[in-house]
Amino acid sequence: MNKEEKHELVLALTEQIKEYGNFYITDTSNLTVAKINDIRRKCFESDIKIQVAKNTLIRKAMEAVDGDFTEIYESLKGSSSILFSKSATAPAKLIKQLRKSGDKPVLKAAYIDSAVFIGDNQLDALTKLKSKEQLIGEIIGLLQSPAKNVVSALQSGGNILAGVVKTLQERG
Protein backbone atom coordinates (compact mmCIF):
# COMPACT_ATOMS: atom_id res chain seq x y z
CA MET A 1 0.00 0.00 0.00
CA ASN A 2 1.56 3.28 -1.09
CA LYS A 3 1.42 6.60 0.76
CA GLU A 4 -1.54 7.92 -1.26
CA GLU A 5 -3.62 4.78 -0.63
CA LYS A 6 -2.87 5.02 3.10
CA HIS A 7 -3.93 8.69 3.10
CA GLU A 8 -7.20 7.80 1.32
CA LEU A 9 -7.88 5.01 3.83
CA VAL A 10 -7.27 7.38 6.77
CA LEU A 11 -9.68 9.91 5.21
CA ALA A 12 -12.30 7.19 4.68
CA LEU A 13 -11.94 5.96 8.28
CA THR A 14 -12.16 9.54 9.57
CA GLU A 15 -15.40 10.11 7.66
CA GLN A 16 -16.87 6.85 8.95
CA ILE A 17 -15.99 7.70 12.55
CA LYS A 18 -17.72 11.07 12.12
CA GLU A 19 -20.72 9.60 10.28
CA TYR A 20 -21.46 6.62 12.51
CA GLY A 21 -20.40 7.89 15.94
CA ASN A 22 -20.13 4.28 17.16
CA PHE A 23 -17.33 1.89 16.41
CA TYR A 24 -15.88 -1.32 17.77
CA ILE A 25 -12.29 -2.47 17.39
CA THR A 26 -11.92 -6.24 17.32
CA ASP A 27 -9.22 -8.85 16.91
CA THR A 28 -9.97 -11.15 13.98
CA SER A 29 -6.47 -12.56 13.56
CA ASN A 30 -5.89 -16.24 12.74
CA LEU A 31 -9.38 -16.72 11.32
CA THR A 32 -9.89 -18.72 8.16
CA VAL A 33 -10.98 -17.01 4.95
CA ALA A 34 -14.34 -18.78 5.23
CA LYS A 35 -14.86 -17.45 8.76
CA ILE A 36 -13.88 -13.89 7.73
CA ASN A 37 -16.29 -14.06 4.79
CA ASP A 38 -19.02 -15.30 7.15
CA ILE A 39 -18.34 -12.34 9.46
CA ARG A 40 -18.48 -9.91 6.52
CA ARG A 41 -21.79 -11.39 5.33
CA LYS A 42 -23.34 -11.16 8.80
CA CYS A 43 -22.08 -7.59 9.17
CA PHE A 44 -23.71 -6.69 5.85
CA GLU A 45 -26.99 -8.31 6.95
CA SER A 46 -26.89 -6.37 10.25
CA ASP A 47 -26.10 -3.02 8.56
CA ILE A 48 -22.61 -2.98 10.09
CA LYS A 49 -19.62 -1.82 8.07
CA ILE A 50 -16.41 -3.76 8.71
CA GLN A 51 -12.97 -2.48 7.75
CA VAL A 52 -9.60 -4.15 8.32
CA ALA A 53 -6.84 -1.57 8.72
CA LYS A 54 -3.43 -1.14 10.23
CA ASN A 55 -3.43 0.16 13.79
CA THR A 56 -1.40 3.24 12.88
CA LEU A 57 -3.95 4.20 10.21
CA ILE A 58 -6.86 3.71 12.65
CA ARG A 59 -5.04 5.90 15.17
CA LYS A 60 -4.40 8.63 12.59
CA ALA A 61 -8.09 8.60 11.66
CA MET A 62 -9.08 8.97 15.33
CA GLU A 63 -6.60 11.80 15.80
CA ALA A 64 -8.24 13.64 12.88
CA VAL A 65 -11.66 13.57 14.59
CA ASP A 66 -12.75 15.75 17.50
CA GLY A 67 -13.00 13.44 20.47
CA ASP A 68 -10.91 11.85 23.18
CA PHE A 69 -9.71 8.46 21.96
CA THR A 70 -6.54 8.25 24.08
CA GLU A 71 -7.86 5.28 26.09
CA ILE A 72 -8.40 3.35 22.87
CA TYR A 73 -4.84 3.83 21.58
CA GLU A 74 -3.48 1.18 23.96
CA SER A 75 -5.89 -1.37 22.44
CA LEU A 76 -4.44 -0.88 18.97
CA LYS A 77 -2.07 -3.84 19.00
CA GLY A 78 -1.96 -6.88 16.78
CA SER A 79 -4.47 -7.38 13.99
CA SER A 80 -7.45 -5.02 14.13
CA SER A 81 -10.81 -4.82 12.42
CA ILE A 82 -13.08 -1.85 12.96
CA LEU A 83 -16.87 -2.20 12.94
CA PHE A 84 -19.06 0.86 12.29
CA SER A 85 -22.77 0.97 13.06
CA LYS A 86 -25.54 3.51 13.68
CA SER A 87 -26.80 1.18 16.40
CA ALA A 88 -24.67 1.13 19.54
CA THR A 89 -25.56 -2.47 20.38
CA ALA A 90 -25.68 -4.21 16.97
CA PRO A 91 -21.91 -4.95 16.73
CA ALA A 92 -21.83 -6.25 20.33
CA LYS A 93 -24.77 -8.55 19.65
CA LEU A 94 -23.14 -9.76 16.42
CA ILE A 95 -19.82 -10.43 18.17
CA LYS A 96 -21.63 -12.37 20.89
CA GLN A 97 -23.49 -14.40 18.23
CA LEU A 98 -20.24 -15.14 16.36
CA ARG A 99 -18.54 -16.24 19.58
CA LYS A 100 -21.00 -19.11 19.94
CA SER A 101 -19.07 -20.89 17.18
CA GLY A 102 -15.53 -19.87 18.17
CA ASP A 103 -13.38 -17.64 20.37
CA LYS A 104 -13.03 -14.82 17.81
CA PRO A 105 -13.65 -11.97 17.17
CA VAL A 106 -12.38 -10.57 20.45
CA LEU A 107 -13.48 -7.09 21.47
CA LYS A 108 -10.52 -4.79 22.04
CA ALA A 109 -12.37 -1.50 22.49
CA ALA A 110 -15.62 0.28 21.67
CA TYR A 111 -16.52 3.94 21.30
CA ILE A 112 -20.23 4.67 21.82
CA ASP A 113 -21.40 8.30 21.78
CA SER A 114 -18.21 9.58 23.47
CA ALA A 115 -18.09 6.68 25.99
CA VAL A 116 -15.13 4.31 25.79
CA PHE A 117 -15.32 0.62 26.65
CA ILE A 118 -12.04 -1.29 26.87
CA GLY A 119 -11.67 -5.06 26.82
CA ASP A 120 -13.63 -8.15 25.91
CA ASN A 121 -15.22 -8.24 29.38
CA GLN A 122 -17.35 -5.21 28.36
CA LEU A 123 -19.24 -7.20 25.72
CA ASP A 124 -22.21 -8.09 27.95
CA ALA A 125 -22.63 -4.47 29.08
CA LEU A 126 -22.53 -3.28 25.46
CA THR A 127 -25.28 -5.69 24.39
CA LYS A 128 -27.57 -4.22 27.06
CA LEU A 129 -27.06 -0.54 26.24
CA LYS A 130 -30.19 1.39 25.38
CA SER A 131 -30.33 3.79 22.46
CA LYS A 132 -30.86 7.49 22.95
CA GLU A 133 -34.40 7.14 21.57
CA GLN A 134 -35.23 4.34 24.03
CA LEU A 135 -33.97 6.40 26.97
CA ILE A 136 -35.95 9.48 25.88
CA GLY A 137 -39.06 7.32 25.51
CA GLU A 138 -38.63 5.95 29.03
CA ILE A 139 -38.13 9.43 30.49
CA ILE A 140 -41.23 10.74 28.71
CA GLY A 141 -43.20 7.77 30.00
CA LEU A 142 -42.02 8.44 33.55
CA LEU A 143 -42.90 12.11 33.27
CA GLN A 144 -46.33 11.41 31.82
CA SER A 145 -47.28 8.89 34.49
CA PRO A 146 -47.91 11.38 37.36
CA ALA A 147 -49.78 13.75 35.05
CA LYS A 148 -52.00 10.92 33.83
CA ASN A 149 -52.76 9.94 37.44
CA VAL A 150 -53.80 13.51 38.30
CA VAL A 151 -55.98 13.84 35.20
CA SER A 152 -57.54 10.44 35.89
CA ALA A 153 -58.30 11.38 39.49
CA LEU A 154 -59.82 14.68 38.41
CA GLN A 155 -62.00 12.99 35.81
CA SER A 156 -63.18 10.25 38.16
CA GLY A 157 -64.02 12.79 40.86
CA GLY A 158 -66.73 14.39 38.71
CA ASN A 159 -69.34 15.94 41.04
CA ILE A 160 -67.17 15.51 44.12
CA LEU A 161 -64.53 17.76 42.57
CA ALA A 162 -67.06 20.50 41.90
CA GLY A 163 -68.13 20.34 45.55
CA VAL A 164 -64.54 20.55 46.77
CA VAL A 165 -63.81 23.55 44.52
CA LYS A 166 -67.00 25.33 45.68
CA THR A 167 -66.11 24.72 49.35
CA LEU A 168 -62.57 26.07 48.82
CA GLN A 169 -63.94 29.19 47.11
CA GLU A 170 -66.35 29.84 50.00
CA ARG A 171 -63.53 29.67 52.53
CA GLY A 172 -61.41 32.21 50.68
Provide CATH 3.30.70.1730 ranges for the chain: 3-127
Closest CA to 13 of 80, 72, 84, 77: 84
Query: Which of 17-26, 43-52, 95-104, 140-149 is least confident?
Result: 140-149
Inter-helix orientation angle 55-63/3-20, to 10°: 60
How far is 122 from 131, CA to CA, in rounded Å? Answer: 17
pLDDT, tens digit (0-9, with 9 covering 90-100), for 1-22: 788 999 999 999 999 999 998 8
What architecture is domain 3-127?
A: 2-Layer Sandwich (3.30)
Q: In what order do the strands lie in the sheet with 106-112?
A: 49-52, 81-84, 22-27, 106-112, 115-118
How far is 70 from 116, CA to CA, in rounded Å? Answer: 10
The pTM for the full model equals: 0.75
* Average pLDDT of the segment spanning 135-143: 82
* Res. 161: pLDDT tops 70: no
* Res. 30: pLDDT tops 90: no
pLDDT, tens digit (0-9, with 9 covering 90-100), for 94-127: 999 988 888 888 999 999 888 899 998 888 888 8
